[in-house]
């Protein structure tokens, strides 16, 4: 086998590619503070969201600083079938972190596959703020 799944995970700038999930998180939060992260697909260029082409799911992951393991925060499934096309293309996650790290979001289109984006800058700022509270 010459290829792995990694070879099929696509990424780009979400402002120019409609499939790339955009991550919206607060710039600073304190350790243990509950906050929301929104992951949206088609934020700048709308994704069609028809029965023929739609986002099947959106997921948010977190990798704590220094950890070799990604932690799944959540995955939202969207259905389009029969006479119903889900027009939702965003998911909100409510969470609290104990330390900084990086957010990663994935989204799956039934026609165009798996897409990935990351949010290291916000994580760095998050880490700075958490560091202030120690």
Binding stretches for Fe ion (CB under 5 A): 53, 109, 111-112
CB of 130 to Fe ion, least distance (A): 36
CB of 56 to Fe ion, least distance (A): 10
Q: CB–CB of 31/124 below 8 Å?
A: no
Indicate the residue among 11 and 53 with the shorter CB distance to Fe ion.
53
Structure tokens at 106: 């994935």
CB of 11 to Fe ion, least distance (A): 15
Identify the three-state secondary structure at position 125.
helix
Indicate the residue among 42 and 101 with the shorter CB distance to Fe ion.
42
Structure tokens at 133: 């509270």
- Closest-by-Cβ residue to Fe ion is 109
Longest C-alpha distance within the chain, in Å?
53
Indicate the residue among 76 and 95 with the shorter CB distance to Fe ion.
76
């Amino acid at each position: 086998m010459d290829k792995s799944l990694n070879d099929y995970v696509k990424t780009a700038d979400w402002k120019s590619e409609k499939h790339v999930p955009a991550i919206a998180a607060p710039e600073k939060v304190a350790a243990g503070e509950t906050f929301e992260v929104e992951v949206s697909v088609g934020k700048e260029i709308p994704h069609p969201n028809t029965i023929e082409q739609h986002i099947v799911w959106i997921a948010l992951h977190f990798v704590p600083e220094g950890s070799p393991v990604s932690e799944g925060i959540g995955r939202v499934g969207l259905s389009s079938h029969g006479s119903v096309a889900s027009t939702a293309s965003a998911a909100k996650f409510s969470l609290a972190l104990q330390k900084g790290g990086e957010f990663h979001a994935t989204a799956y289109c039934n026609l165009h596959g798996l897409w990935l984006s990351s949010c290291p800058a916000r994580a760095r700022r998050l880490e700075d703020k958490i560091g202030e509270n120690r």
